[in-house]
Amino acid sequence: MKRRINRARSGKQRVLVTPEGIALPVTVAGRGARVGALILDLLIIVMLIIGTSIALMQVAGGAAQIAQAVDGKGAGAQVLQFLIVVWIVAMFLLRNAYFLYFELGPRGATPGKRMTGIRIAARDGGRLTAEMVIARNLLRDIEMFLPIPLIAMAGPDNGMAWLAAAGWLAIFLLFPLFNRDALRAGDVIAGSWVLERPKQKLEAAMTTSEAPVAERFQFRFEEHELAVYGEFELQALERVLREDRTDAVETVYQTIAEKIGRNDGWGAERRFLSDYYTQLRARLEAGMRMGRRKADKHSGG
């Protein structure tokens, strides 16, 4: 087992242990994918900033009207000041709320991350909390959004000031190169990491028994007992059943039994899990046919 885990920790492969005690193989996202995702997200933000600026300028009556209002002190100037405040607030929201909104969502990924096939996850195997997402994104201001304007304002002619700002930016940009998991400083503070997104398609079923339902299952589960888990947990359970290690089977049985309030599987833990797996899979596949997906236990559906 130890040898298998060590092999899994080589390269970009890691082992993530969930709060349920399930060991899951995961793949750390490459640095290239992370840079590509950031560039795509910044391009989207820039386009939103340009669109918002043009819309506010149209509301203000165009550039010519704005120039006239700047020199005046009447109602036009007051309207202009209000629109400038709106623009500043919009720029702040686009720069910060963009990342928070998408990363706090069920997919844990911005549009750029989705396009490059990566997502954020908690390093302890638990749920990605709002505190983690806020912490990692607020630190982005220190890592990138503050030093870049300072570099632009100082200019190479200002010597030490420019070098200090450039060094500040370089330290944070190069930080992911000096740790195995390519963590940003924000990831270190928040306890998060960026992983390659697992395939969403369910793998082939472990069993295709055509026996009648009454004969096929020793344990039957109610709808509310199956509704607590999703595709992520189903695939984890499938791996546990395929590996068939006694300690893992007992640990996962205890976790699931406690979660759904059952205690009738003692002595038949593997059969309990196998029946739960088959019925959970059937429920998820039925949901997909109706256009509903439940990615994991935190998702609705």
Model confidence pLDDT, tens digit, residues 274-291 = 999 889 888 887 776 665
Range of the domain at 249: 213-290
Instruction: From 161, 196, 231, give the residue that closes a domain.
Output: 196
Model confidence pLDDT, tens digit, residues 28-56 = 888 888 989 999 999 998 898 888 888 87
Q: Are both 180 and 240 inside the same structural domain?
A: no
- Give a yes or no: residue 2 inside a domain: no
Number of structural domains, the chain?
Answer: 2
Q: Are both 185 and 250 inside the same structural domain?
A: no
Q: Are both 133 and 278 inside the same structural domain?
A: no
Model confidence pLDDT, tens digit, residues 181-215 = 889 998 999 888 888 876 555 555 555 455 555 56
DSSP-derived secondary structure for the chain: -HHHHHHHTSTTEEEEE-TTS-EEEEEBPPHHHHHHHHHHHHHHHHHHHHHHHHHHHHHHT-HHHHHHHHH--SHHHHHHHHHHHHHHHHHHHHHHHHHHHHHTSTT---HHHHHHTEEEEETTSS---HHHHHHHHHHHIIIIITHHHHHHHH-GGGTHHHHHHHHHHHHHHHGGGGSTT---HHHHHHTEEEEEPPP-SPPPPS----S-HHHH-SS---HHHHTT--HHHHHHHHHHHHHT-HHHHHHHHHHHHHHHT--TTTT-HHHHHHHHHHHHHHHHHHHHHTT----STTS--
Neighbours of 72 (CB within 10 A): 11
> Mean pLDDT, to the nearest integer, of 3-16?
60
Q: For residue 6, name the pLDDT band (cuts at 50, 70, 90).
A: very low
Phi-psi region of 280 (alpha: psi -120 to 50; beta: other; left: phi over 0): alpha
pLDDT recorded at residue 249: 85
pLDDT > 70? residue 250? yes
Q: Are both 112 and 161 inside the same structural domain?
A: yes
Q: What angle do CA 173, 121, 11 make, to 5 degrees?
A: 65
